[in-house]
Amino acid sequence: MCTTRGWTPAALALCSALAVGLSAAPAAADVSDLRLEQWGLDMVGAAEVWEEAQGSGVTVAVLDTGVVTDHPDLKDVTVGPDFTGHDLSSDSDGYGIHGTMMAGIVAASGHGVEHTGGVMGVAPEAEILAIRITAEPDGPDRDSVDPGALAAGIRYAVDEGAQVICLPLAGAEFSVQANEADQEAIAYAVNHGVVVVASGGPLGEASYPAAYPGVLAVGSVGPDGSLSEFSSRGDHIAVTAPGEEITVVDPDGGYTTVSGSDAAAAFVAGVAALIRGEFPQLKPEQVVEAITSGAQAADPAAAGQPGYGAGVVNAPDAFTAAKSTADHVPPFDPELAEQLEEEPLIPYWMLWTGGAVLLIVAAVVAMVVAHRRAADPYGFGKRKPEEPEEPEPVPTARRPVRGRRRRGRGRRGVSR
C-alpha cells in the first residue's frame, strides 16, 4: 500500500468553498455531483445501486490497524478489541491510520448538507466494526504482533454479528504457508453466513490468507482497467477492483490517496455489503457468485490473464445477479430469527407435555411387548385349539313300503 498525503490548508479551504457552493444544489441532484472526484467509485458503479440499497443494517468488520471514530465522513464506527498484543485504544498514537483509510472506501458517507462535503464509500449506510489485528505497515511494532490475532479477530467479528469481513491487508502481512488456526477461523465465518473478502496479496508466492477456501481474493486495476504492477498474478484472484491513487479519508480529519490491492479489497467488501443489506437470505457463496458473475473486463486485453479473475467488480450487475438468485430463496427476517432463538414456535410446556406422553406410550408398548415375549419366548405364536372331528352319519333303517291292494270286482278271471 502506497500513501500520498496531498491536502494542504489551501486545498482544504478550496474544498470547503466547493462544499458550500455545492450545498446550494437541489436535493434531487445526482450524487456524483455532490462529492469529490472518485474514479474508483465511478468504475464500480456504486452510485447506480444507491437508489435501491446503501448497506443499511449491515455490519462490515474491518480487520486491520483499527479505525478512528472522529472523522466527519465516518458515522457508524464501533471500536472492537486489539488482538495484536499491543493493547492500543482508538486515541493512541499509531492507531488506525491504514484501517481508517480502508473503512472510508467501504462506508464513508461524506458530511454536510446532502453529503456535499468529503468522500463517499461504496456502502455509505453500512456500519463498521473496527478490529485491530495488525500494526501499521511501516510501524516499528509490526514484527511483534500476536500470531493468533487474525484468527481471534475473525471469530470475534462473527460472534458480534458481522455480515461481511474485510481483510485489506498490506503486502507484508501475507505468508507463503497456510495456518491451520486461520483457516479454521475462516471456515467458521463462512459456516455462519459471513462473506470474507481479502486483498489478493503482492507479486510472488505470498498468498495467504487470500488463498484460503471461502475467501474472495481481490486484485488491483488502474483507471484504464489494466492490472496494477504490484497486484498478484495468482490463480486465487477471483475479481479485481480499483486500487491506484484512490482518494480516502485520513485519520487526522483530512484526505489522502492510497494504492494497493488492500484498497481494491475494500471496494469489493462495500459491494458485498450492498448485496447483504438488500438480500440477507443469500449464503456467502451466493453473494460471491453474484459478484464474480457481474464482473466485467474493463480492459479486453487483460481478460483471461492470471490475476485478473472474472474481471473488474461491477456493483449494478452484481446486484442484479444477486436479485435473480434471491427470487428463488425465501426472505430472511432477522427479527423473527432472533425471536425464535428466544421463544420457539412451540411453547416449552407443550414440548415437556408431549415428551412425557411419548415416554408413557413407549413404556406401555414396551410392557406389552415384554409380556408377549414372556408368554411366547420362542415365537411360535398362540396354539390354535383342535377342532372336534365331525361324527360319521348313522344310516337310518328304511321302512318297508307297502303297496295298496287293488280292489277288483271279483276274482281274477279264470278260463272256463
Is the domain of 54 the same as that of 199?
yes
pLDDT at 33: 39
Tell me whether residue 3 is in a domain: no
Q: What's the residue count for the chain?
A: 416
Is the domain of 244 the same as that of 299?
yes
Tell me whether residue 398 is in a domain: no
Tell me the backbone φ, ψ of residue 103, rounded to 5 degrees: -65, -35
Answering whether pTM is above 0.85, one says no
pLDDT at 386: 58
Alpha carbons 232 and 295: distance in angstroms, whole number: 18
Q: Which of 331, 353, 387 finishes a domain?
A: 331
Q: For residue 415, what is its C-alpha cell?
A: 278260463
Tell me whether residue 400 is in a domain: no
Is the domain of 194 the same as that of 337?
no
Is the domain of 84 the same as that of 164?
yes
Q: How many CB atoms lie within 10 A of CB 255?
A: 23
pLDDT at 342: 63
Distances 300 to 17, 223, 308 between C-alpha atoms, Å:
40, 14, 11
Tell me whether residue 136 is in a domain: yes
Classify the phi-psi angles of 115: left when phi > 0, otherwise alpha if psi is within -120 to 50, otherwise beta: left
Beta bridge partners of 117: 111
Is the domain of 134 the same as that of 168?
yes
Tell me whether residue 163 is in a domain: yes
Is the domain of 86 the same as that of 229?
yes
Give kind and range of the element (H or E) at residue 275.
helix 261-278
Beta bridge partners of 240: 219, 312
Q: Which of 277, 299, 331 finishes a domain?
A: 331
Is the domain of 210 the same as that of 224?
yes
Is the domain of 111 the same as that of 167?
yes
Range of the domain at 347: 333-372
Tell me the backbone φ, ψ of residue 23, rounded to 5 degrees: -65, -20
Is the domain of 188 the same as that of 312?
yes
Tell me whether residue 257 is in a domain: yes
pLDDT in tens, the chain (416 residues): 665 554 433 343 334 333 333 333 223 333 433 355 799 999 999 999 999 999 999 999 999 999 999 999 999 999 999 999 998 888 888 899 999 999 999 999 988 766 667 899 999 999 999 999 999 887 777 778 899 999 999 999 999 999 999 999 987 788 889 999 999 999 999 999 999 999 999 888 779 999 999 999 999 999 999 999 999 999 999 999 999 999 999 999 899 999 999 999 999 999 999 999 999 999 999 999 999 999 998 878 777 789 999 999 999 999 999 999 999 887 655 554 455 456 665 666 677 787 788 889 888 888 877 777 666 665 555 555 556 666 666 655 555 555 454 444 444 444 44
Is the domain of 368 the same as that of 312?
no
pLDDT at 194: 98
Specify the CATH number for the domain of residue 240. 3.40.50.200
Nearest to 131 by CA among 183, 92, 167: 167
Alpha carbons 354 and 326: distance in angstroms, whole number: 37
Is the domain of 305 the same as that of 326?
yes
SS3 13: helix
Q: Are 260 and 232 in contact (CB under 8 A)?
A: no
Beta bridge partners of 127: 59
Tell me whether residue 402 is in a domain: no
Classify the phi-psi angles of 210: left when phi > 0, otherwise alpha if psi is within -120 to 50, otherwise beta: alpha
Q: For residue 13, what is its C-alpha cell?
A: 479551504
Per the structure, the count of domains in the chain is 2
Tell me whether residue 108 is in a domain: yes
Burial class (CB in 10 A: 0-12, 13-18, 19+), 307: buried
pLDDT at 122: 97
Is the domain of 278 the same as that of 138?
yes
